[in-house]
Structure 1
Amino acid sequence: MAGQPIFILKEGSKRTRGRDAQSNNIMAAKAVAEAVRTTLGPKGMDKMLVDSMGDVVITNDGATILKEMDIEHPAAKMVVEVSKTQDEQVGDGTTSAAVVAGELLKKAEDLIEQEIHPTIIASGYRLAAEKAVEVLNSLAMNVEMSNRELLVSIAETAMTGKGAEASKKLLSGIAVDAVTSVVDTNGKKTIDKDNISVVKKVGGRIEDSELIPGMIIDKERVHTNMPEKVKDAKIALLNSAIELKDTEVDAEISITSPDQLQSFLDQEEAMLKKIVQKVISSGANVVFCQKGVEDLAQHYLAKAGIFAIRRVKKSDMEKLARATGGKLITNLDEITPEDLGFAKLVEEKKVGGDSMTFVTGCDNPKAVTILLRGGTEHVVDSVDSALEDALRVVGVAIEDEKLVSGGGSPEVEVALRLQEYAATLEGREQLAVKAYSEALEVIPRTLAENAGLDPIDMLMELRSQHEKGMKTAGLDVYEGKVVDMWNNFVVEPLRVKTQVINAATESAVMILRIDDIIASTRAAPGPEEMGGMPPGMGGMPPGMGGMPPGMM
């Protein structure tokens, strides 16, 4: 038995160890960061992504790009996760998070080549991240919810470089008004993003977009004889259908004469009339029904002058209940005037060729709707993506009440402070902290590159301004020079920056600590999966691709 090899892994499994495993992972993570790097900043470019079905997405949102790219490599997936987390937590800074993670790994690779152990690098990175968050907190300024101008600047910064840039002034105002109208001020300020609906309609210009202080339901009234407009609407929100129930058991009715058929139909009609009468008796003059409304019931409702809509989405029903103060009614027998919601106006309007129902002047306008317009579907989608970022960022700023300047200024300031901090450390962690500070400079460097400026000149200029004590000096990519970002109203919520630091550091450290990759291969398909054919018999004896061997 001496010298007999021992197999502990399944045949066909692949194992990569040590330096090879590390460089393999770092290369994959760097490739992902490189893929989104050109989209960073106001002058960033867009990516066109075409999926297997031929659907096209045009975007420069880091999280969207990485989600749409079908990434296979496990380490690359970890960087995608960073972007995804950033998107879920704050809604902006997704590209920055991926780029910083890639750069941290790039710097770590240089240190590994200098024979510095990954555990020491990881420990240095953690120290640097703690210090970076501390510096960011010291740079933060306060913002009040009443300071609309500053909140609009935050929304504008989040939208800059996205598809909606030409109309960012209008859309930023809409985003700020939408968020401030749904703020819950019980104790700590919180914002439930679900209270803001976005309805996209192709047709018209982006400038035609507007904020509706109420709800828009993408449905029209069920009967043309119903009123198009109802003032002082008393709204019934029905979960149940206005139609006759089918029997639970199979029942047969034998009819032997036309009189019996007529009386059967009359009975059905009377039952429907009774159901509609319950709605009328409650005093409702508008009905939103989650399920169906039978034709005859539509006629009776129209006759009573009631405005009715059927098949409303469950999420819309819940928002209507919140906005109008009505209750969702499951059983029509139980309906009372107290269960009804109220709105000053319910009307049907035509938007982009389609009829939609507007519910405005609600008791509790804690639900608002943004109507987005645009020339084509891709335009509307890119505006929606930019607006989504603006809404989230304004929400975060109102919740935290802390801001930092943009344009790469916090990164340069943090990098300088980390250089000073590195000098106070002993041991090899000092090198890791130094590498971390250099990695953060990738943000201003990339901003300059994407704007066609010289990254080295710009970085030198930024550093010299910060060393002079101008902490808010950042890069104005339009003018191609270093200016005070705070005076130029280029601001971002503090949480966007701290989240980038934390998420990028954690994923870089996790990837660095991997020194062994064991990949199992998929098992070969059995005879059943191969259409019931014995292995090696693809309809022909092996080695006979339609020709005797050796006759190619």
Structure 2
Amino acid sequence: MALHVPKAPGFAQMLKDGARYFSGLEEAVIRNIGACKEFSHSVQSAYGPNGMNKMVINHLEKMFVTSDAATIIRELDVEHPAAKLMILGSEMQDSEVGDGTNFVIILAGALLECSEELIRLGVTPTEIAEGYELALEKCLDILPKLVCKEVKSTHDTENMKKAILTSVQSKQYGNEEFLSDLIIKACDSIISEGTTFNVDNVRVCKIPGCGLFSSQVVKGMVFKKQIEGEVTKVEKGKIALYSCAVDIMQTETKGTVLIKTAEELTNFSRGEENLLEMQIKAIADTGAKVIVSGAKFGDMALHYVNKYGLMAVRLNSKFDLRRLSKSVGGTVLPRLTPPSQQELGYCDSVHVEELGDTPTVVFKNEGKDARIATIVIRGATDSYMDDIERAIDDGVNTYKCLSRDGRLVPGAGAIEVELACQLSEYADTLPGLEQYAVRKFANALETFPKTLAENSGLRSTIVLEKLLAAHKNGEKNIGVDIESDNSTCDVVEKNILDLYSCKYWGLKYAVGAAATILRVDQIIMAKRAGGPKPRQGGGDDDE
């Protein structure tokens, strides 16, 4: 006789077996806060120039060694729904500003950690969320008053470099001078009046060997590959670009040819060869010296390409082909037809260069019309070069933000301490329960100077006391000094500056994520869909 087991009462009985349901403060809110807290603590130790690296191995077994929060969270497959909300905020920051992803996660985590104490004291999560939103409004009012410098034009390279130094320094402490020069040089060569700056136009090519200081900027594009033909160098050459294969044309429909004698067979194949030779001769007659194709070069076609002294380059990626067409100002043709003069691209120099033992093909434009610049990074290991690439990416994004909004605020925790001091005073003027939340918001902002100090091996409580005392005396630009024993310094003198837009959006996204998580009081997770389970790793021999 089968026993009838009643389902759990309440909401859970409406769902399929295997569904999970949490509700109420203890189960849902505190649980979510706990998960977010853990997550933000794990990336906190990666904050600042002396932040520790994390070793992340993603689902494809690829290894990343980095302190860049954006990369860490992109490669980790985080399951927890509340932690996912924080990650979404951080990803929005990445697409908006391109830097400051760690700022969002640490602030959201700190805000939730502070709210936990208030919840235990009986303040409702909704009141805390409202208090945080009040505090955010106040912060966004104060922020413009704390701007300490403004870069008026992207041609002001000295001030642009000062602004980029800080964002590169947080990833590559010690190499920031050299990398900032590379970034400025690359960005400066492609920005033109009246156009918006596109981050995609600064390419990075990583070539193992040598050291970081052998890295260089090339105006144009660099590809890690061999050429197809025999010509290895072309000066001031016109370029024909094709997305199809350079080979005997395949007919569009299937045709059957009946051949009766050997003579007919030789005539037929000779006809195809002659047609191919005519096509390549017609391309050479237009003045083109380089053929770039997105597909293969046939053996017969290569024979004629070499015969007419053309250089043949094959690119595997259609995106690279598009970028190259933009860089040389040509049009990519879908069929092997001779290009018109308007469709031909032009390049000052196309040549093969060996760096280390890696062959590269370089398309170089010396004039002002270089639309794309490539930074060639040299280094000992792949993971080191990947990390340099991330630092360059941050620097290029900073350049983009400065070309839109040149305002800068003091870095090194100075702006967070100043906001915390002003918020504490603001909290005293509020009548309701929001004042507790605003005060906790100020406490959460103090996490940043504390983290910077801890990661640099300083005593965080002493540093924070010094900073708060200085800011109460009206010294707005005092921040954490990670280099000297004094532990505090005037950050504007030391050129530690952060983007205004980075802090503005960072505060917005962090508070948005924290308030959303606080307002969740029930979690209902449907049963997982059936399907093939991921393959389990094989056991050890010992087992």
Amino acid at match of 2:434: E
| Cα distance per residue 1:47-92 (max 9 Å; x no partner) | 1122355432111111211222332111111122222222222122
Q: Which amino acid aligns with 1:424?
A: T
Structure 1 partner of 2:405: 400
Distance 2:252 2:158 in 1: 61
Match of 1:11 in 2: 17
Partner residue in 1 for 2:537: none
The farther-off stretch of 133-142 and 164-173 is 164-173
Structure 1 SS opposite 2:365 = strand
Between 1:289-298 and 1:482-491, the stretch displaced more is: 289-298
Q: Letter of the 2:167 partner, please give it.
A: A
- 2:117 is the alignment partner of 1:110: yes
Match for residue 284 of structure 1? 288
User: What amino acid is aligned across from residue 354 of structure 2 in structure 1?
Assistant: K
Alignment of 1:454-465 (within 5 A): 454-465=459-470
Q: Given residue 97 of structure 2, which amino acid in structure 1 is its aligned partner? A: V
- Residue pair 1:324, 1:362 contacting (<8 A) in 2 also: no
Superposed CA offset, 1:204-243 (max 9, x none)? 211111110111133332112x2x2211111112223221
Paired AA for residue 148 in structure 1? T
Choose from 430, 450, 453 the match for 2:435.
430
Q: Summarize deviations over 1:21-72 as a string: whole Å, max 9, x none.
A: 1100000010110110111111111111223554321111112112223321
Whole-Å separation in 2 of the counterparts to 1:431 and 1:142 = 35
Q: Secondary structure at the match of 2:89?
A: helix
Partner of 2:35: 28
Q: Distance in 1 between matches of 2:361 and 2:178?
A: 24
**Helix, strand or coil at the partner of 2:347:** strand
Given residue 204 of structure 1, which amino acid in structure 2 is its aligned partner? C
Shift of 1:184: 4.5
Aligned to 1:489: 495
In structure 1, the partner of 2:536 is none
Answering whether residue 237 of structure 2 is matched by residue 229 of structure 1, we say no
Aligned to 1:546: none
Q: Deviations over 1:400-425 (max 9, x none)?
A: 11111110000001111111211222
Closer, same or farther in 2 for the Cα pair 1:524/1:330, shift >3 Å?
Answer: closer
Partner of 2:540: none
Q: Could you give the per-residue CA deviations for residues 304-325 of structure 1, whole angstroms, max 9, x where no partner exists? A: 2211212352222222222222
For residue 362 of structure 1, report the CA deviation from its aligned partner.
5.6
| Residue correspondence of structure 1 range 399-478 to structure 2 within 5 A | 399-478=404-483
C-alpha distance in structure 1 between counterparts of 2:378 and 2:93, whole Å: 28
What is residue 78 of structure 1 aligned with on the other side? 85
Question: Aligned partner of 1:165: which letter?
Answer: Y
**8 Å contact 2:282–2:338 — kept in the other structure?**
no
Residue aligning to 2:159: 150
Q: State the alpha-carbon separation in 1 of the partners of residues 359 and 94 from structure 2.
A: 34
Alpha-carbon distance in 2 for matches of 1:456, 1:296? 75
- 1:221-260 equivalences under 5 Å are 221-224=227-230, 226=231, 228-260=232-264
Residue equivalent to 1:173: 181
Q: Distance in 2 between matches of 1:440 and 1:72?
A: 27
What SS class does the counterpart of residue 337 from structure 1 fall into? coil
Q: Structure 1 residues 523, 61: CA separation in 2 closer, same or farther (over 3 Å shift)? A: closer
Code of the aligned partner of 1:222? E
Q: State the Cα distance separating 1:344 from its structure 2 match.
A: 1.5
Q: Match of 2:200?
A: 194
Partner of 2:390: 385
CA contact (8 A) 1:63 1:84 kept: yes
**Matched residue SS, 1:146:** coil
Pair 1:89–1:196, CA change in 2 (3 A): same
Letter matched to residue 497 of structure 2: V
CA–CA distance in structure 2, aligned partners of residues 290 and 12 of structure 1: 51
Counterpart check, 1:216 vs 2:230: no
Counterpart position of 1:544:
none
The answer to whether the 8 A contact 2:327-2:370 is kept is: yes
1:54–1:336 Cα change, 3 Å: closer
Deviation at 1:108, TM superposition (A): 0.9
Task: State the alpha-carbon separation in 1 of the partners of residues 512 and 201 from structure 2.
Answer: 33
1:335 maps onto 2:339 in alignment: yes
Secondary structure of the residue aligned to 1:212 is: strand
Superposed CA offset, 1:422-468 (max 9, x none): 12222111111111111111000111111111111101111111122
Residue 538 of structure 2 corresponds to none
1:153 is aligned with what amino acid?
Answer: K
- For residues 373 and 60 of structure 2, the distance between their equivalents in structure 1, rounded to whole angstroms, comes to 34
Gaps of 5+ in 1: 531-552
**Bigger shift: residues 418-427 or 496-505:** 418-427
In the alignment, is the contact (CA less than 8 A) between 1:150 and 1:489 conserved in 2? no
Q: Is the 8 A contact 1:342 1:362 kept in 2?
A: no
1:343 aligned partner, one-letter code = C
CA contact (8 A) 2:55 2:66 kept: yes
Matched residues in 2 for 1:306 and 1:14: separation? 67
The letter for the 2-side match of 1:160 is: Q
Partner of 1:372: 377
Conserved 8 A contact 2:248-2:273: no
Asked if structure 2 preserves the Cα contact closer than 8 Å seen for 1:219 and 1:312, the reply is no
- For residues 517-547 of structure 1, give each alpha carbon's deviation from its aligned partner in whole angstroms, at most 9, with x where no partner exists: 112233678xxx89xxxxxxxxxxxxxxxxx
Give the number of equivalent residue pairs. Answer: 520
Q: Does 1:63 align with 2:70?
A: yes
Moved more, 193-202 or 150-159: 150-159
1:318 to 315, 319, 322: 322
CA distance in 2, matches of 1:318, 1:12: 50
Between stretches 176-185 and 134-143, larger displacement belongs to 176-185
Deviations 1:187-208 (A, max 9, x none): xx62111111111111121111
Aligned to 2:539: none
Q: Deviations over 1:385-404 (max 9, x none)?
A: 11111111122122211111
Distance in 1 of aligned mates of 2:315 and 2:276: 18
- The residue type paired with residue 469 of structure 1 is G
Q: Which amino acid aligns with 2:256?
A: E
Q: Identify the range of structure 1 (164-173 vs 445-454) with the bigger mean alpha-carbon deviation.
A: 164-173
1:339–1:54 distance in 2 versus 1, CA, 3 Å: closer
Residue 512 in 1 paired to residue 510 in 2? no
Distance change (3 Å), C-alpha of 1:304 and 1:334: closer
Q: 1:437 to 1:314 in 2, by over 3 A?
A: same
Per mean C-alpha deviation after superposition, the further-off stretch among 362-371 and 205-214 is: 362-371
2:457 aligned counterpart, secondary structure: coil
For residues 72 and 333 of structure 2, what CA distance do their matches in structure 1 show? 43
